[in-house]
Amino acid sequence: MQKGIVIILSGASSVGKSEIRDLLLEDKDLNLFFSISETTRPRREDEVDGKDYYFVSHEAFANSVKNKELLEYTEFNGYYYGTPRAQIDYLVNLGKNVLIEVEAQGVGGIKLNLPDSIAFYVMPTSFEELEKHITERYGDDDASIQRRLNKAKMDMEIAPLFRNIVYNDDPVKAYHQIKEKVLEEMEKRK
């Protein structure tokens, strides 16, 4: 049986990754399953454990790190986020393609563990446009806005390290660009 492909989707906060992700996941041609991250962040009212994230204690997260059960992990705003390896290995070995949405600094850890994965960095049309989206999304939390803007600047500085950069001036167009590359890769691996 042919193994599945791991597709990594990365980009700054509020760049539109989730809209592109949803379009990719709905596309039956790609046979994609979404990798659910583990986090120590409290669950929001509209979130479902095991669907949006695996919500865990700091102790459980520390054990996941200690036992090398995460492909990558990071801290933001005092909370930890990580990508569990077991579910990805399981799906890929069944021939399923897996989509991982992750911060830019996490891509290196995934690529080290899964060198055949394909990474895409979603770029905003301009930093000013991104700043507008972050400000709209996080409203009156100036500290959070500033942290996200600073992180976005750092992320965008490492974007040239990605082989596949997609500009998100239109999520549907960005989705089609990613789909085309993934289909090419699927064809190559037959």
Residue 75 lies in a domain: yes
pLDDT at 122: 94
Burial letters 130-144, b for 16+ CB under 10 A, else e: bbebbbeebeeeeee
Residue 147 contacts residue 141 (beta carbons within 8 Å): no
∠ CA 9-41-7 to the nearest 5 degrees?
Answer: 15
Residue 156 lies in a domain: yes
Rounded CA-CA distance 148/141 in Å is 11
Helices (H), the chain: 17-26, 58-66, 85-93, 104-113, 127-138, 142-158, 171-188
Residue 122 lies in a domain: yes
Q: What residues make up the domain containing 57?
A: 6-185
Residue 1 lies in a domain: no
> Does residue 66 carry a pLDDT above 80?
yes
pLDDT at 23: 97
Residue 113 lies in a domain: yes
Residue 19 lies in a domain: yes
Burial class of residue 152, CB neighbours in 10 A (0-12, 13-18, 19+): buried
How many domains are contained in the chain? 1
pLDDT at 77: 82
Residue 190 lies in a domain: no
Percentage of the chain lying above the pLDDT 70 cut: 99
| Amino acid letter for position 128 | E
**Band of the pLDDT at 67, cuts 50, 70, 90?**
very high
Residue 115, domain CATH: 3.40.50.300
Residue 102 lies in a domain: yes
Q: What does the pLDDT look like over 141-187, one tens digit per residue?
A: 788 788 888 888 888 887 777 889 999 999 999 999 999 999 999 99
**Band of the pLDDT at 134, cuts 50, 70, 90?**
confident
